[in-house]
Amino acid sequence: MKCNQLILLVVLTGQLLTIMDIFIINVSIPSIRRDIHASHGEMQFMIASYLIGFASFLITGGRMGDLYGRKKIFITGLVVFMLSSVGCGISSGPVQLIFSRFVQGISAAIMAPQVLSMIQILYTNHEERTKAMGWYGITIGIGTILGQFLGGYFSSLTIIREAWRLIFLMNIPICIPAIFFSLKLLNESKDRVKKTFDIRGVFILSTGLFFFTYALTSSEQNGFNMQNIFLAVISILVLIYFVQNQKTKIRNGRSYLIDFKLFQYKNFNLGIIAVAFFFIMLDSYFYILSLFFQDGLKISPLAAGEIIVFQGAGFILASLFSPKLILEHGKNVLFAGLGLIMIILVLQILFFNTQTSLPVFYILLFLHGVGVGSIIPSLANIALSGMQESLIGNASGVYNTFQQIAAIVGIVAIGSVFQFFLGEKPTSGDYKDAFTIATFISIVCLFVVMIFISKVPDHILPKKNKTIEMD
């Protein structure tokens, strides 16, 4: 058992790096832009390049783990992540930094599916797996808070010039021991049937996802201009061709990238739809909340950051205790968590204004984090539960891809609604109205999540007494 816990710690290091480096760059933008003489557009692309690389190669990373070995691909991801972090840290100009961030995103995409896959394989018992997924949730919370804190801390150091470079170089002392212990502790697992890798499929899928995520992230800043609409249409056509291409290869017995047997699992389909709507809500919420706080309520960036930390604290606390509650009460914990988020969102509409005291912000964000932390780990558990080992990497890649694409869609779609209701010269009242409308859309998304979770069979998240009866 202790060995499994140590293995879990090593595997979750990969998840920590993946999440931390999404957030670590945000507060360092002004100093990076000044030191490498980057334009506003180049800085936007530098932030987006990590997410584009990450979302475009998650399915490929999952399939690579199935075919070549999850341990081997996980370690490869760690090595490339470390080298690309060095590339970011020594960048002399915006082009090198954009490219290094893109490679960093790809390496994160190689690691992330292995994390979920190895947890599912390592913990076959429902009770142990639920607890492990709780630690998975805690890691996400820690990565979110740590990324923002360390990004601000290193960027503010005055003892060295261009201190922002440390936000990338700090990954080296994390990656080296992670690689060492991965080599020593992890057991190899892969599909026992030898198959070749579908390189053509990788190219088609990655091209489609790259164009789609680029069009979405670009639309966030520049709106739906003709270029973005054209790229979005092309990407959809490429992805449709990819699906047909994969089905033809499966019928003809040739190597493929996605095994569509995944979608024969009812809980997998329910899980990816639930996680998609949940992250449409969640990422758009954080995006809009930061604008509402700083531009609408005139809260300073530092104070806004402190408020968000309370959300992360609630997330971590819920991830710590929710596994025990889920084992005792099953899906009811998820319904309670979703209900809590809805109530808190309504309270935020009612109480968030320029007269609100900081403790009120702290409490409502903390409770929001509790609700979110009680949901996220179980969504992955729902989607991947009962999946046969030969499909687990493929399933993890598809699950993570749905999550990332949904996050970007949420920011663009609900963010666009928010911007529309702001108007050209928004007042504080316009910000409150736009926040209210966007928040109601988020509540609708949560209702959709609740509907799909209600359809999940009880044996996927059984209560403890039912687990004993089944055993």
Lowest mean pLDDT among 122-131, 214-223, 426-435: 214-223
| Domain limit, last residue, from 256, 271, 289 | 256
Q: How far is CA 32 from CA 1, 103, 166, in A?
A: 45, 19, 11
Radius of gyration of the chain (CA): 22
The per-residue pLDDT of the chain, averaged, comes to 86
- Give the confidence band of 468 by pLDDT, cuts at 50, 70, 90: very low
What average pLDDT score do residues 55-78 get? 90
Torsion of CA 260, 382, 380, 193, to 10 degrees: -40
Same domain, 35 and 167: yes
Does 35 reside within a domain?
A: yes
Same domain, 52 and 111: yes
pTM of the model: 0.82
- Please give the Cα distance from 370 to 100 (Å, whole number): 35
- Provide the pLDDT for residue 99: 93
Helix 332-351 to helix 358-373 angle, to the nearest 10 degrees?
160
Return the exposure string of 185-211: e unless at least 16 CB atoms fall within 10 Å of the residue's CB, then b.
ebeebbbeeeeeebeebbebbbbbbbb
**pLDDT tens, 392-445?**
888 888 888 888 888 888 888 888 888 888 888 888 889 999 999 999 999 999
- Provide the pLDDT for residue 277: 95
- Give the confidence band of 148 by pLDDT, cuts at 50, 70, 90: confident
Same domain, 225 and 264: no
Take residue 255 and report the two structure tokens written for it.
């190597």
Q: How far is CA 210 from CA 101, 204, 235, 251, 285, in A?
A: 14, 10, 8, 27, 24
Whether residue 197 contacts residue 67, with contact meaning beta carbons closer than 8 Å, is answered with yes
- Please give the Cα distance from 375 to 47 (Å, whole number): 27
Does 194 reside within a domain?
A: no
Domain count, the chain: 3
CATH number for the domain spanning 316: value is: 1.20.1250.20
pLDDT tops 50 at residue 469: no
- Provide the pLDDT for residue 467: 46
- Please give the Cα distance from 396 to 394 (Å, whole number): 6
Percent of the chain whose pLDDT exceeds 90: 32
What is the 3-state composition of the chain as percent helix, strand, coil, each rounded to the nearest 5? Answer: 85, 0, 15
- Give the confidence band of 464 by pLDDT, cuts at 50, 70, 90: low
Same domain, 162 and 42: yes
Same domain, 325 and 398: yes
| Domain limit, last residue, from 256, 277, 297 | 256
- When mean pLDDT is compared over 54-63, 103-112, 242-251, the highest value belongs to 103-112
- Provide the pLDDT for residue 395: 87
Q: How far is CA 79 from CA 71, 82, 174, 175, 371, in A?
A: 12, 5, 11, 7, 35
- Give the confidence band of 62 by pLDDT, cuts at 50, 70, 90: confident
Take residue 153 and report the two structure tokens written for it.
């801390």
Domain interval for residue 52: 1-185
Does 190 reside within a domain?
A: no
Does 263 reside within a domain?
A: yes
Does 363 reside within a domain?
A: yes
pLDDT tops 70 at residue 91: yes
